[in-house]
Amino acid sequence: METKREKSTTSNEMNAYDNALKQLERTADIIGLNPDVHEILKQPKRILSVSIPIKLDNGSVKNFQGYRVQFNDARGPFKGGIRYHPNVTLDEVKALAAWMTWKCAVADIPYGGAKGGVICDPKNMSLGEKERLTRRYTSAIADFIGPYRDVPAPDVYTDPQTMAWILDTYSQIQGHLVPECVTGKPIALGGSEGRNNSTARGCVIAAREAAKTIGLPLNGATAAIQGYGNAGSWSAILLEELGVKVVAVSDSRGGIYNKLGFDSKKVEAFKEKTGSVVGFEGTESISNNNLLELGVDILIPAALENQITATNAGKIKAKIVSEAANGPTTPEADRILEKNKVLLIPDILANSGGVIVSYLEWVQNLNRTHWTEAQVNAELEQKIITAFKSTYEKSKKLNVSMRDAALALAIERVGRAIQTLGIWP
């Protein structure tokens, strides 16, 4: 999904880092955050800005811009994905790194938060170009990552193959194989069972728990999903397994709608073949914006940031919004959804299944063991249910939204770690 991004210096609804700071500010007020901790959390601990020159297939050299932002590591090694997208900005990567920090804290896994991004258009690059880009980027940040420092993973337009290249490049530099330096890698290299659909699985479990709290039966309920990448397509398939009728899905080229629902696995196969969900048989086309405003029970934004804004939030009719994407809802839109009593499961809870199974992968790698898919899924389910319950209880206790509650829980945990470590020197 293409989103417009404004200059990073102006404070506005569409700047992701401004939004992350607004959330921090609001949470600091809600929980009475220690001002020293607040001061520390306004900035990432480290920002790496690297140039990545590679030879293109046509023989010329192109120099790409890449970032790795390490936001906070008070609770454990930095952790977070790497995004390849033409609209990547430093402010976006900073926001995503902050959100990773909160996400790992809500899930209560021993990680800090980081994120990487490279400004490129992977859809128009060959496999060879993507491999050279990935290897050169890895070499540029190699001194700052590693199993106990910072553990990358996939994000938008990166996948297990990308992780395999990172693993190989990092290992060549170290002189020995270091499988635990990345997660979301192929199973053949120590990847975890269940990691491929873990983001969606967590998101659907969270939606299921939310449905229970409002007494919504899932069998026969309807859903719309914006974005049909890894998180979106698997969310559709897993919702269907629970009896939910998926009536609309979309990707960057547009959306499809059928009020009777469709077979998401067939849609996935169609997208695999044609490059888009658009044109799938028996559906009418729908724009990404109209999809968000459909009268469905469950809405899953699974694309990019800033999709639900002050402009369209008032038109959202879904009872439950489960955020598979990072930052799809702006703080201004949050206030409107709150007023309209939409039960929103915030990104840092709803999409934490990905990093939870990344953590399980890392634990398996460090122990040189391999779990079954059933073991991984059971552990994931238990962790998401615990995070959902803690967030829900917090929201009742503080009388705030699920977003505010999740942020409160996370920032309290990170703050406690910072204060307990103390400020050196």
The residues annotated with a catalytic role in the active site are 115
Is 355 near ligand GLU (CB under 6 A)? yes
Is 353 near ligand GLU (CB under 6 A)? no
d(CA 80, CA 61): 29
Shortest Cβ 195–ligand GLU spacing (Å): 8
Shortest Cβ 247–ligand GLU spacing (Å): 26
Q: Could you give the string, one character per residue 119-158, with x where binding to ligand GLU holds by CB under 6 A and - elsewhere?
A: ----------------------------------x-x---
Residue with smaller CB distance to ligand GLU, 362 or 392 = 362
Angle subtended by helix axes 90-106 and 353-366, to nearest 10: 70
Shortest Cβ 34–ligand GLU spacing (Å): 27
Is 45 near ligand GLU (CB under 6 A)? no
Shortest Cβ 77–ligand GLU spacing (Å): 10
If binding means CB under 6 A, how many residues of this protein chain bind ligand GLU?
Answer: 13
List of residues 6+ apart from 59 with CB closer than 8 A? none
d(CA 234, CA 360): 20
The one-character DSSP state at 122 is G
List beta partners, residue 61. 55
Stretch that binds ligand GLU, among 51-59, 334-342, 354-362, 385-393 (CB under 6 A): 354-362
Shortest Cβ 237–ligand GLU spacing (Å): 19
Shortest Cβ 358–ligand GLU spacing (Å): 3
List of residues 6+ apart from 174 with CB closer than 8 A? none
d(CA 291, CA 177): 46
User: In the range 388-417, which residues lie near ligand GLU by CB under 6 A?
Assistant: none
Cα distances from 417 to residues 28, 352, 422, in angstroms, run 16, 20, 8
Is 358 near ligand GLU (CB under 6 A)? yes
Tell me, what amino acid is at 342?
A: V
Is 278 near ligand GLU (CB under 6 A)? no
Question: Residues 66, 77, 80, 160: which binds ligand GLU (CB under 6 A)?
Answer: 80
Is 113 near ligand GLU (CB under 6 A)? no
Q: Which two tokens stand for residue 272?
A: 């695999």
Residue with smaller CB distance to ligand GLU, 103 or 130 = 103
Q: Could you give the string, one character per residue 170-189, with x where binding to ligand GLU holds by CB under 6 A and - elsewhere?
A: -------------xx-----
User: In the range 183-222, which residues lie near ligand GLU by CB under 6 A?
Assistant: 183-184
Sign (positive/negative) of CA torsion 314, 317, 322, 328?
negative
Residue with smaller CB distance to ligand GLU, 223 or 324 = 324
Instruction: Give residue number: closest CB to ligand GLU.
Output: 81
Tell me, what amino acid is at 383?
A: K
List of residues 6+ apart from 100 with CB closer than 8 A? 71, 79, 80, 81, 111, 112, 113, 114, 115, 355
Q: Is 199 exposed, middle or buried (0-12, 13-18, 19+ CB in 10 A)?
A: buried
Q: Provide φ and ψ at 72, rounded to 5°.
A: -155, 140
d(CA 309, CA 373): 38
The residues binding ligand GLU (CB under 6 A) are: 79-81, 103, 153, 155, 183-184, 326, 351, 354-355, 358
